[in-house]
Amino acid sequence: MLIAAGAGWYLNSSVLGGLATSNALAGLVRGGARDGDLNILLMGLDSRRDNDGGDLPAATLAQLHAGSSSDVGGYNTNTLILLHVPKDGSRATALSIPRDDDVDLPDGLGQHKIKEAYGRAKAAAESAATASGTTDHAQLEQLGREAGRKAAIESVRDLLGVNVDHFAEVNLAGFYDLANALGGVRVCLRHAVQDRYSGADFSAGVQSLDGAQSLAFVRQRHGLPNGDLDRTHRQQAFLASAVHRLRSDGVLSDLGKIGPLLDVAHKDLVVDAGFDLLSFARRAGAVTAGNVTFYTLPIEGYAMQDGEAVNVIDPVKVKQVAQRLLAGGMPTDADSVSAAPATGPEIPQIAQDEAMQKKATQKEVPTHASTRHSSRTKQAATPATSASASPDPSISAPPGVPCVD
């Protein structure tokens, strides 16, 4: 009993005592007490800076294969996943929001990609504070990041029409550090790929990736059939496989193994001030057991806006689909969600059938009056990446490791 009590105290003080926390959720949760279910927003920043805004070491940048300067990348949220955890411990649902979805951002930030809410709000808050006489860099960084988190959360809440109860933010180095802390993460690829932009260079089949390889895996979009949408599927697969590794290796129940994970959390993670991670881990058995279904929310097509490719969406449809899936419903044919794979965690994908491909390639899709139109996204035509013409039918993944293109 004394050992158990001591272990509980150690974990509580180690986790909660050292984590970076945020008050960005204050005032954003609507409607008072809910039914006990939790919606947790997972945000992955495309930032080459640490949680205090400082430069990452040159050696770390080299390993990330993400540019030679911490100024590259800005503060886009290239990963946005809403994780719904039912109070009864039943199967959890994770909704990925494509980063290039064209939405109306909050606080008068305008119509832009949803990934830009964080960076635009951060820049606006820092400019306002500077104009008011604030000159301290650390204070400006803190003000800016809190504004960025708030705008990103609001954007997701407004798009999906649901509360966000908690959030967790990880920087670009977090994927790298997590994979290294786990001693590698196994993934399954249906095709061999080689991409000089992300550094992805993988053969087809099941393989274990170290930190640098894992980051390349979740960042690759060039040369994939559906560009950013396929990158979203890779992020889902990485998370599913990482959770499976945690469970199968007994990491969460072994104080000796959990130490490296705590180091990653303290260095790379920011959570809202009210998020009790230990209580969550105790009640979220479905998540820690890998009992999660991943979905990618639908898009209608592609367009150009202000010289950049965006995803055209139907906001009403997105909201309806999201709320049905979060309530435990199943996708319909009209949602363009395909069946789950036969092995590994359930990761139904958006169906990019021949008609959708033809629409994206040949037809211009308008967004609003100021939009210039385009054909298919620029990633598909990039010659720097190659993939095999057809998947190897003999490739199959072990339990807990979903296969992706």
User: How far apart are the C-alpha atoms of 192 and 207, rounded to whole Å?
Assistant: 11
Contact 305, 367 (CB under 8 A): yes
**pLDDT at residue 354 is higher than 90:** no
**pLDDT at residue 390 is higher than 80:** no
What is the largest distance, in Å, between two alpha-carbon atoms of the chain? 68
Give the position of tokens 């021949």.
354
Buried b (16+ CB within 10 A) or exposed e, 319-331: bebbeebbeeeeb
95 vs 187, 297, 321, CA distance in Å?
Answer: 20, 7, 10
**Tokens read off for 255:** 């104080």
User: How far apart are the C-alpha atoms of 387 and 204, rounded to whole Å?
Assistant: 9
Mean pLDDT calculated for residue range 279-300: 83
Contact 166, 275 (CB under 8 A): yes
283 class by beta-carbon count within 10 Å (0-12 exposed, 13-18 middle, 19+ buried): middle
Mean pLDDT calculated for residue range 242-261: 77
Contact 233, 295 (CB under 8 A): no
Angle between helices 2-18 and 255-268 (to 10 degrees): 20
Give the confidence band of 19 by pLDDT, cuts at 50, 70, 90: confident
157-161, 249-253, 301-305, 374-378: which is most confident = 157-161
Contact 194, 382 (CB under 8 A): no
Mean pLDDT calculated for residue range 154-159: 97
For the four alpha carbons of 370, 373, 379 and 383, in that order, the dihedral sign comes to negative
Lowest model confidence (mean pLDDT) among 84-98, 111-125, 168-182, 294-308? 168-182
**pLDDT at residue 229 is higher than 70:** yes
**Tokens read off for 180:** 């290294």
Exposure on the CB side of residue 81, measured as CA atoms within 13 A: 27
Question: What domains are defined for the chain?
Answer: 2-404 (3.40.630.190)
Q: What is the tens place of the pLDDT at every residue in 258-275?
A: 778 888 888 889 999 988
Edge-to-edge order in the sheet of strand 185-189: 205-209, 185-189, 403-404
User: How far apart are the C-alpha atoms of 74 and 224, rounded to whole Å?
Assistant: 24
The more confident residue out of 391 and 369 is: 391
Give the confidence band of 353 by pLDDT, cuts at 50, 70, 90: very low
Buried b (16+ CB within 10 A) or exposed e, 218-236: bbbbbbbebbbbbbbbbbb
pLDDT at position 360:
42
Q: How many CB atoms lie within 10 A of CB 338?
A: 15
User: How far apart are the C-alpha atoms of 34 and 348, rounded to whole Å?
Assistant: 28
pLDDT at position 166:
94
pLDDT at position 110:
96
Contact 205, 222 (CB under 8 A): no
In degrees to the nearest 10, what's the CA dihedral of 310, 311, 313, 315?
Answer: -60
Q: What is the tens place of the pLDDT at every residue in 33-88?
A: 467 899 999 999 887 677 777 777 777 777 766 555 545 557 899 899 999 999 88
The more confident residue out of 335 and 70 is: 335
2 vs 7, 10, 338, CA distance in Å?
Answer: 9, 12, 51
Give the confidence band of 375 by pLDDT, cuts at 50, 70, 90: very low
Give the confidence band of 363 by pLDDT, cuts at 50, 70, 90: very low
Mean pLDDT calculated for residue range 161-179: 88
